[in-house]
Amino acid sequence: MRNRLAGIFWSILFLAVPVLGVGVFAIAPSIDVWLPKDVSSHGKEIDSLFYFILALTGIVFIVTEMLLFWFIWKYDAAARGDEKATYIHGSHTLEVIWTIIPAVTMLFLAIYQMNAWADMKMRRPVMKPTVEVVARQFEWRLRYPGPDGDLGTPDDLFLVNDLHVPVDEDILIQLKSMDVLHSFFLPNLRMKQDAVPGMKIPVWFKATETGQYDLVCAELCGWGHYKMKGRITIESREDYDAWLEAKYREQEATQPEPMDEIL
């Protein structure tokens, strides 16, 4: 009897896994524990891919957990009494089937997401970089082109952890790393790209709503990884231009005067 109760307990415990798992996912959006607000032009496509894959894997999860519960319940040794266990050597046909099905599923997903991948990683907008972002333990160093519109010239604007972009415009970022592997992550813009030492990586997006959002590192990059956090401010073109002008003036005011002018 004791063994039988133990078998029932473990059966119910395994049944609780899919029940509680599905329940958590069902109530998460209503308690605001879900994906951050999407403010990008491509976010809807990314979220659709996420939900499709979540539904696909969720169905497989539920089916396998229910089967696990059924087999634990049905073939509990205490309930079967003295009935001897039987053994089989497996089924070659079954093994081929459950190898082909995941392979076909993965191939389908690879083809299904090709357009989204191309939009985010291949179809680069034809424009000069809006800003250069350099990852460094443990901060984001930003460089905006000066009035000449080109990066790498004396009039560039330098900032730390405070990224500003105009709304409803294509933004092209030149991403670099000064030391180790980092990951440039804008959750609300559905944008994540590794910053690899020695490489200049283009990153592009278009923001659709104004506001301030998180800029974080999504790659464990050292002891201070937890504090490698900045912000991105999305604003109108007028506010963006005014902000740039103010920052240019601040930077100029802190620059030392040329020696010949002092003399």
pLDDT attached to residue 79:
57
Tell me the domain boundaries of the chain: 2-78+92-120, 131-256
Q: Is the peptide bond before 14 cis (omega within 30 degrees of 0)?
A: no
Task: Give 131-256's CATH code, choosing from 3.40.50.620, 2.60.40.420, 2.60.40.1120, 3.30.1330.60.
Answer: 2.60.40.420
Looking at residue 224, its pLDDT comes to: 93
CA atoms of 180 and 204, how far apart (whole Å):
22
pLDDT tier, 262 (very low <50, low <70, confident <90, very high otherwise)? very low
Task: Note whether 160 and 142 are within 8 A (CB).
Answer: yes
Cβ pair 194, 220 in contact under 8 A: no
10 has a pLDDT exceeding 90: no
Over pLDDT 90: what percentage of the chain? 53
Mean pLDDT (the chain) is: 87
**Does pLDDT of 258 surpass 70?**
no
Q: For residue 263, what pLDDT is reported?
A: 40
Digit-coded pLDDT (tens) for 61-90: 888 888 888 887 777 665 556 667 677 777
The whole-model pTM stands at 0.80
For residue 185, the cross-strand partners are 192, 216
8 A C-beta contact, residue 74 and residue 224: no
Burial class (CB in 10 A: 0-12, 13-18, 19+), 151: middle
Q: Which of 180, 205, 118 has the alpha carbon at shortest distance from 215?
A: 205
pLDDT digits 0-9 by tens, 192-250 = 999 999 999 999 999 999 999 999 999 999 999 999 999 999 999 999 999 999 999 99
Q: Do residues 197 and 178 lie in contact, with contact meaning Cβ atoms separated by under 8 Å?
A: yes
Q: Which of 175, 174, 176, 183 has the alpha carbon at shortest distance from 222?
A: 183
Residue 7 binned pLDDT confidence (cut-offs 50, 70, 90) = low
